[in-house]
Amino acid sequence: MAKKILSLSILILLLFSLQTYGEEAITSNYEKALILEVMENQVTDNDNIESTQYVELEVLGGKYKGEVFNIENVQSGHPVYDIPVEKGDKVVVMVEEYGDGSLEVNITDYSRDGYIYMLTIGFALALIFIGRSKGLKTIITLIFTMLMIFRVLLPLMLRGFNPIIVTIMISAAITILTIILISGFTKKSLAAIVGTITGVLIAGLLAFVIGTRVKLTGLSSEEAVMLLFIPQNIQFNFKDLLFSGILLGALGAVMDVCMSIASSIEEVHRANSDLSMKKLFLAGMNVGKDIMGTMSNTLILAYTGSAIPLILLFMAYETSIIRIINLDIVATEIVRSLSGSIGLILSIPMTAIISAVLIKKNNKDT
């Protein structure tokens, strides 16, 4: 009986605390703010708090735009969690509104979007200045790619659609529109499209087969694990998410290689239209061989570069090579980079032979 009363009491207390919390905490809004003054940086004796900054800031947007708040900015001494500020810094703050009308303002991060927008504008201007009309077309294709990823691919995944099937469809759409918009609907474009889709599918198939054999989980990153707790309550197949990421990651590099080979063969044919199909194919292969080494390095270096802290940890603790290779996170990146590189390599002869056949066929027809 005593246990039942104790359990009932705990339940009532929990319900009461949840109800009280629901009444007090109404909304949380994130806004940008300007640091007007850092009035004091007080060192404390608390083991969990190294110092406390007393900050005066002005909210720059939203409901409380123009209002000034004096807050405490606690520093734990850990660079991962601390956000030390100076006068003139722009930050992101969380404004919490409570049911009794009180507010709580906390600094959550630095405001970085301004410089990101500047860098984006610089990138666009460089494309237009160097590429002229093709640079403008490139910007259009980039916008299309981002829209397809963030407005189609990811929402469909969140609705429970198969990630691999959706990624293949989106990759094909991105490839077709990008190549046709930049180079027009030509034999060269057709060869590059077929070569790109073939190479990406080969990369995805290899990743799927090898990844399944080595029992990759798809849960090697913290972000993947966090997907287990999203509010949509979707039961993701994390292996499918991993393989769809490999497909999408290989797309850009493979498209670049295929377009370069198709363009090279077309230019060689324009310079000497008497060359046979075999010689055009060999010319494309020679170009592909030169690209192959550098582009494979690009894929592997891109994946390795993102894992430098992990590699340093292995070296610092002198982890054995057997332990390293068999870790899920390392095996995932190896499968990702090597399958992408194989897909890229095999797309070279595919694109070269299709380009040579189409060009000579077109020449005979005319």
Helix (H) or strand (E) holding 97: strand 90-98
Alpha-carbon torsion 300, 305, 327, 320, what sign? Answer: positive
CATH top-level class of 163-365: mainly alpha
As to burial, measured by CB atoms within 10 angstroms (0-12 exposed, 13-18 middle, 19+ buried), residue 314 is middle
Within the chain, residue ranges assigned H as helices are 2-24, 113-131, 133-147, 154-158, 163-183, 187-213, 222-226, 238-271, 277-305, 308-316, 321-326, 328-365
DSSP 78: -
Partners of residue 68 on adjacent β-strands: 58
Pairing label, strands 51-59, 68-75: antiparallel
- Which residue matches tokens 């609705």? 159
CATH code, 25-111: 2.40.50
Fold match flag (25-111 vs 163-365): no
> What ranges do the domains of the chain cover?
25-111, 163-365
pLDDT tens-digit profile, the chain (366 residues): 444 443 444 444 444 444 444 445 568 899 999 999 998 776 666 666 778 889 999 999 988 999 999 999 888 878 888 899 999 999 999 999 887 878 899 999 999 999 999 999 999 999 999 988 889 999 999 999 999 999 999 999 999 899 999 999 999 999 999 999 988 889 999 999 999 999 999 999 999 899 989 998 888 877 888 888 887 778 888 888 989 988 998 898 899 999 999 999 999 999 998 889 999 999 999 999 888 878 778 777 877 787 888 889 899 998 898 998 898 988 988 898 889 889 989 999 999 999 999 988 766 555
Q: Are 174 and 196 in contact (CB under 8 A)?
A: no
Do residues 128 and 139 lie in contact, with contact meaning Cβ atoms separated by under 8 Å?
Answer: yes
